Amino acid sequence: MATQTLLPKIKFCGLTRSEDVTAAIACGADAIGLNFYHASPRYVAPATARELGEIAQKSQGISNSVMRVGVFVNASPSEVDAVLAICPLDCIQLHGDETPNWLDDSLAFSSLQSIYFIKAIAWRDCDEDRTIALQWSGKHDARLLGLLVDAFDPIQRGGTGKTARWDLLSPRPFELKNTPLLLAGGLTSENIAEAIRIAKPQGIDVASGIEISPGFKDYAKMQAIGDIARQMILENQ
């Protein structure tokens, strides 16, 4: 397992505009999420994502580097490789029904052999989620930074605004105990402190909670969440 310090403390996801990337970094983001899922209202074409990623690459955040995370849903390694040929990324977020075999298959592509990964899962304290969590937490691959716990939705993949069951993460379930966690799912400036206090994640991932509308971010919301989250996450370490 990769060292926990590589997992971003604050990830602002679903960015579609250059001014929002600049604002996210000014508000303390360690990572920006670029969504390549066509069904998402936050989808960005690879060429546009490349331009947004270049802003992050040239910027210096609080942690001195800003991770460019590409969000994919049930895309094959070859499809991700095609995006990387246009838009360089530092990390891939798998937000669909991918199994750990996906990482093995990705080794056939040179662009994916050294890139980092985050796997999104739901956590409803049910057998299905426990099985998935064990499969991924037991995958000993240095490229896997950790798991992202999001709210469950049978149709939409992230950015739903639904609140995740962070109460089910305290105490930390056995299946997740040895895995760095990013917490997502309906996080806002009003509930972020409670969520971090209860779930004690290594980082947070916010999309809808920092928006005016899907893909259009709100500077004040990003600043409020960034200020609260960074201090609390540091205190929990």
Task: Give the C-alpha separation, 107 to 97, whole Å.
Answer: 19
Whole-Å CA distances, 199 to 33, 187, 204 = 22, 12, 10
104 catalytically annotated: no
Task: Give the C-alpha separation, 109 to 143, whole Å.
Answer: 14
Burial of 210: CB neighbours in 10 Å, binned 0-12, 13-18, 19+: buried
13 catalytically annotated: yes
| Given 20, 30, 129, 150, the catalytic residue | 150
| Given 13, 27, 87, 91, the catalytic residue | 13
Instruction: Give alpha helix (H) positions in the chain.
Output: 18-26, 46-58, 77-84, 101-106, 127-137, 192-199, 219-236
Which sequence positions are flagged as catalytic? 13, 150
